Amino acid sequence: MSKGPARKSGIGCYWADLSLPFKGLVLVALPLVILIGSLGSLYIASDAEARAEDDVRRAFAIQRDIYQVHALLAEAASGVRGYLLTDQNRFLEPFYKAERELPLTLARLDDAIEDEGVRLEFERFLEITERKQSGLDALIALARSEGERPARSDAVLSALIANKAVLDELRSQIEEIQRQEGILLDARRARVDTVRARFLALTAISAVVGLLGSLAAVFLFSTGVVRRIRMLQANAEKLQAGDPLNPFPDERDEIGRLAKKVDRASELLRARERDLREGEERFRLVVEGVRDYGIFALDPDGNVTSWNTGAERIKGWRAEEILGRFFGTFYPEETRDYLPREILERARRDGTTEDEGWRMRKDGTRFWANVVVTALRDETGRLRGFAKVTRDMTERKRAEEFLKLAREQAVAASVAKSEFLSRTSHELRTPMSAILGFAQVLELDREELSETHQTSVDQILKAGRHLLSLINDLLDISSIEAGGAELKEEALSINDVLAEAYDLSGPILRTANLDYDLSLLPEDALIMGDRRRIIQVILNLVSNAAKYNREGTSVRITAERVENAVRVHVLDDGTGVKDADISRLFTPFDRLGRQKIKGVEGTGLGLALSKRLVESMGGEIGYTHRTDIPKGADFWFTLGLARAEAAPRKVPSAETSEEQP
């Protein structure tokens, strides 16, 4: 990280460490406080000037109202004299006007006069005014009491003279009030001038202070924010260009912390650039070192722009021979005109595409290739080219073709086997029926034969029936494998089927001296299946248990409900089947070595046939060890439940042996 210059001290350091919100508050508040102070001082000065002007206007109003009182009283006195001379009431109109307007005018004067000296003179003025009004009232009353006369009495003349003296006294009092108000008016005018001069001076001072405050705010903003932001901007440009950053002051505000983060980001960016270069170099070495895959790049038009060792090994071209050429060169002639551009279009549309097919080497030989083409786009989504990975899959292709051929041969062999078994079984069945027929004829004359001949007839019948059972099993298996097995599926009562199978298999268990038990479902259930085939499966499983249960004493048939199916169990308490042999249980002709057991006959087809029959009815068959006793075998199969509305339906089925195995 770049080291900043030496840290400032004092007020500069304190100001630089303050947070940006606080600095912004100071920068905004300083001019605002100066402005508010200036406005406050201007308001005070303006208010003082307004009060002084109000005082001047009030002085003029007092003078006006004083003259108004004098004029009203003078007009009233003149009107009274006219009335005394003519006895006509129209001359009293000024008197009545004075009575109406004098109270209002005197009230205004009383409110307007504030000076104590003028107030004393005003009170004397009020007294004289009242005397004047009383004198005029007295003159009118005296004139009305004397009636209409051509001349007035001495009393009236004396009253007139007295009233004139009062009016003169009032005039003198008005002059005194006007003199004092004039003095006050001059003082108030001088005060207005003084206040106005102070107002102008304060305005000038406020403008200067506001300008200085603004300059101080601009200076603080420039030194605390703008200068460092410009330094930060310069470092950001250097960071963009990958150049070393300029040292930044070690300050603790948001800009200082941001500068430290930029400095840290510069270090991380340089470290990542180093790692990126190293990673690119490692990637180049890896790509160049891969030999099993051809990895190369294409430009947007499909021309080769890079070439690795694997591509050279697989395709045969060296880098200087193929760079700049269209990658369609690798395709055989039958696909070269359309497939390369189609693959590029799919990659351009879907982002990536995969294809397999024949490709050409430099020497003209073909190989089976698996190719993956990926579109390369920049951060704006503009196509910059394609990456192509090619793998030589010729050996796998050959193996697949060999397996396909082997599978086809195996299927053909299986079909041939099934046809052979079916044909052989039919061919053997006719002479075997004849042999059994002749043997049965000989058996009818058994009493006439010697003991040796009777034994021979018994052996012929036993061997013939065994061979016929084998032939029937072979026919059943070949029919099922060929898909021609006939099943008559219908809804069956599982308890009825189990009871019938139990009755039919009873002699087998009695011959083997084994106890035989049957457990039916508590609640009967309907299953879907072929009754004869289900009984055939149960007889096969019971016969299997009777043959190999040499150490046990019993065989039992049980049934249980399992979800939407019924599971039938054929249980014995013999030695069971070894774990290693379980997977071979249902393999045709595989008796798991039990053919060596003395007295046990079998073909190895019973379980295989049972499996195919159960699966053809949509069920499952299997084997598990018994868990309720230490040893024993549990052969089971499941068949699905019939729907309540399902009606019996017939499935085409072929003839089978009339004898049960």
Q: How far is CA 104 from CA 65, 94, 97, 110, in A?
A: 10, 16, 12, 10
Which tens digits make up the pLDDT trace of 268-290? 777 777 776 665 555 555 555 55
225 lies in some domain: no
CB-side neighbour CA atoms (13 Å) of 248: 28
Length of the chain (residues): 661
**φ/ψ bin of 225: left (φ > 0), alpha (ψ from -120 to 50), beta (otherwise):** alpha
Looking at the fold, whether 333 and 410 belong to one and the same domain comes out as no
* Model pLDDT, residue 150: 44
Looking at the fold, whether 577 and 519 belong to one and the same domain comes out as yes
Helix (H, G, I), strand (E, B) or coil at 235: helix
529 lies in some domain: yes
516 lies in some domain: yes
pLDDT of 580 > 80? The answer is yes
If one counts the domains in the chain, the total is 4
Looking at the fold, whether 594 and 617 belong to one and the same domain comes out as yes
Q: Could you give the residue ranges of the DSSP H alpha helices within 113-153?
A: 116-146
* Model pLDDT, residue 517: 92
- CA–CA dist 377, 385 (Å, integer): 7
Looking at the fold, whether 380 and 449 belong to one and the same domain comes out as no
* Model pLDDT, residue 286: 52
pLDDT-derived band at 348 (thresholds 50, 70, 90) equals: very high
* Model pLDDT, residue 526: 93
Strand order of the sheet with strand 383-392? 293-298, 383-392, 366-377, 352-360
Opening angle at CA 244, ends 240 and 245, nearest 5? 80
- CA nearest 391: which of 371, 407, 406? 371
pLDDT-derived band at 603 (thresholds 50, 70, 90) equals: low
Looking at the fold, whether 192 and 335 belong to one and the same domain comes out as no
Average pLDDT over residues 43-51: 71
pLDDT of 354 > 50? The answer is yes
658 lies in some domain: no
5 lies in some domain: no
- CA–CA dist 371, 311 (Å, integer): 12
- CA–CA dist 471, 605 (Å, integer): 10
Cβ-count burial of 89 within 10 angstroms (0-12 exposed, 13-18 middle, 19+ buried)?
exposed
Q: What is the separation of C-alpha 529 from the centre of its chain, rounded to a whole number of angstroms?
A: 53
pLDDT of 15 > 60? The answer is no
Of 428, 449, 477, the last residue of a domain is: 477
Mean pLDDT rounded to a whole number for the chain: 76
Q: What is the CATH number of the domain that holds 456?
A: 1.10.287
Looking at the fold, whether 410 and 368 belong to one and the same domain comes out as no
Average pLDDT over residues 369-390: 90
Q: What is the CATH number of the domain that holds 319?
A: 3.30.450.20
Looking at the fold, whether 109 and 181 belong to one and the same domain comes out as yes
Looking at the fold, whether 469 and 558 belong to one and the same domain comes out as no
Which tens digits make up the pLDDT trace of 118-156? 778 778 878 888 887 788 787 778 777 766 554 456 666
pLDDT of 453 > 80? The answer is no
pLDDT of 396 > 70? The answer is yes
- CA nearest 495: which of 534, 515, 530, 523? 523
Which tens digits make up the pLDDT trace of 223-259? 656 666 777 777 777 767 767 777 766 666 666 667 6
Looking at the fold, whether 492 and 457 belong to one and the same domain comes out as no
* Model pLDDT, residue 345: 93
Lowest pLDDT segment from 24-28, 33-37, 326-330, 551-555:
24-28
* Model pLDDT, residue 620: 93
Q: What range defines the domain where residue 114 resides?
A: 29-214
652 lies in some domain: no
Which tens digits make up the pLDDT trace of 634-656? 999 999 998 753 444 444 333 33
* Model pLDDT, residue 83: 77
Looking at the fold, whether 406 and 385 belong to one and the same domain comes out as no
39 lies in some domain: yes
pLDDT of 211 > 80? The answer is no
Of 165, 195, 214, the last residue of a domain is: 214
Of 355, 372, 392, the last residue of a domain is: 392
Angle between helices 394-444 and 451-481 (to 10 degrees): 150
pLDDT of 299 > 90? The answer is yes
Looking at the fold, whether 54 and 191 belong to one and the same domain comes out as yes
* Model pLDDT, residue 642: 86
pLDDT of 32 > 60? The answer is yes
* Model pLDDT, residue 499: 93
Looking at the fold, whether 433 and 472 belong to one and the same domain comes out as yes
386 lies in some domain: yes
- Report the b/e string of 362-375 with b at 16+ CB within 10 A: eeeeebbbbbebbb
* Model pLDDT, residue 374: 93
Average pLDDT over residues 552-567: 91
Q: What is this structure's pTM?
A: 0.36
pLDDT higher at 390 or 661:
390
Q: What is the CATH number of the domain that holds 549?
A: 3.30.565.10
Give yes or no for a contact between 178 and 63, defined as CB atoms under 8 angstroms apart. yes
Q: What is the CATH number of the domain that holds 97?
A: 1.20.120.1730
pLDDT of 1 > 50? The answer is no
pLDDT-derived band at 219 (thresholds 50, 70, 90) equals: low
- CA–CA dist 347, 344 (Å, integer): 5
pLDDT of 602 > 70? The answer is no
* Model pLDDT, residue 298: 92
